């Protein structure tokens, strides 16, 4: 069997990694997470999954894949989750694409004013569905409090397929020089670590309380589990990993869980103008549900 030449990583070949193994991994991550891994990502896959082979005592990628696929689903569930966790890309930052947060302030105030005119209505609901390590969820929470005050009637459901990033998001601990935070926000919304925790910051509990974090796979078909419809969805920098049919499927489901007039915020390189039957462009990478 030939092995892939991925010079920087597989060159030393701790584990045999054949083209057929790479193809199978591409199929499996597509089936499980909707992620389309391009040819040329062999070195990335090798480096990310090698740790799983080491931890599970497998001698080659084909050995690992065979074991994963042949183990009864219930027994292999935890390893499938590790497999997915290894293959997601979790790059994020506080207030990434900050024009969205400026637009959000105006939008939240307008929606809150409408709600105030109709007493007894539900709190505003926001869903952040590629939450990663928490910087985006907490940026949303800070924005809500800054726009509407400490008593903001906002529910923030923040989900991700990757259970490992959610552990970090729940901890809410970051480097004190994390990108995207200015001094005023550091002071208002974070506690500074001292002693052994110097150089670290932790989200204040009153802000963390606004954020509900839980796993959710956008390929899941049980979207009713998300609860009441949302006013706003942040779905940023995840659809870039999906092919066109998968994007369309996710957009149709998001359309169903957004209230009429609800807004969908997407990443800077994501363009859904083809789905104009579902969403119309309302601002820079902001769409309104039709």
Ligand X SMILES: C[S@@+](CC[C@H](N)C(=O)[O-])C[C@H]1O[C@@H](n2cnc3c(N)ncnc32)[C@H](O)[C@@H]1O
Question: Should residue 237 be labelled a site residue for ligand X when binding is judged by CB under 6 A?
Answer: yes
- Active site annotation includes 192: no
Question: Should residue 270 be labelled a site residue for ligand X when binding is judged by CB under 6 A?
Answer: no
Question: Should residue 225 be labelled a site residue for ligand X when binding is judged by CB under 6 A?
Answer: no
Question: Should residue 160 be labelled a site residue for ligand X when binding is judged by CB under 6 A?
Answer: yes
Q: How far is the CB of 247 from ligand X (least distance, A)?
A: 11
Q: How far is the CB of 34 from ligand X (least distance, A)?
A: 5
In the complex with ligand X, which residue's Cβ is closer, 21 or 136? Answer: 136
Total of chain residues touching ligand X, rule CB under 6 A: 24
Neighbouring-strand partners of residue 160:
215
**Which residue among the candidates 21, 107, 160, 231 is catalytic per the annotation?**
160
**Which residue among the candidates 48, 111, 125, 236 is catalytic per the annotation?**
48
Work out the burial of residue 241: count CB atoms within 10 Å of its CB; fewer than 13 is exposed, 13-18 middle, 19 or more buried: buried
In the complex with ligand X, which residue's Cβ is closer, 84 or 147? Answer: 84
Point out which span in 18-26, 68-76, 154-162, 282-290 binds ligand X (CB under 6 A): 154-162
- Active site annotation includes 48: yes
Positions 190 through 219 that interact with ligand X (CB under 6 A): 217-219
Positions 86 through 125 that interact with ligand X (CB under 6 A): 88-92, 96
In the complex with ligand X, which residue's Cβ is closer, 191 or 240? Answer: 240
Query: What are the residue numbers of the active site?
Result: 48, 160
């Amino acid at each position: 069997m030939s092995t892939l030449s991925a010079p920087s990583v597989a060159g030393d070949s701790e584990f045999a990694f054949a083209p057929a193994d790479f193809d199978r991994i591409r199929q499996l991550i597509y089936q499980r997470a909707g992620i389309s891994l391009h040819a040329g990502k062999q070195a990335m896959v090798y480096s990310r999954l090698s740790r799983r082979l080491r931890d599970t005592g497998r001698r080659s990628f084909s050995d690992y894949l065979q074991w994963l696929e042949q183990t009864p689903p219930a027994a292999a569930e935890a390893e499938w989750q590790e497999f997915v966790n290894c293959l997601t890309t979790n790059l994020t930052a506080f207030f990434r694409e900050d024009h969205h947060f400026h637009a959000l302030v105006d939008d939240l105030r307008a929606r809150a004013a409408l709600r105030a005119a109709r007493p007894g209505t539900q709190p505003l609901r926001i869903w952040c569905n590629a939450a990663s390590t928490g910087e985006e969820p907490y940026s949303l929470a800070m924005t809500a409090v800054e726009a509407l005050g400490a008593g903001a009637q906002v529910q923030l459901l923040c989900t991700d397929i990757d259970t490992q990033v959610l552990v970090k998001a729940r901890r809410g601990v970051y480097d004190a020089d994390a990108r995207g935070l200015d001094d005023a926000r550091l002071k208002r919304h974070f506690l500074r670590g001292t002693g052994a925790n110097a150089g670290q910051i932790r989200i204040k509990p009153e802000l963390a309380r606004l954020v509900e974090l839980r796993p959710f796979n956008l390929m899941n078909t049980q979207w009713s589990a998300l609860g009441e419809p949302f006013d706003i969805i942040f779905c940023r920098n995840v659809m870039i990993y999906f092919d066109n049919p998968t994007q369309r499927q996710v957009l149709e489901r998001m359309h169903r869980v957004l209230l009429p007039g609800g807004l969908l915020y997407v990443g800077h390189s994501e363009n859904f103008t083809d789905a104009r039957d579902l969403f119309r462009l309302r601002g820079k990478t902001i769409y309104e549900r039709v």
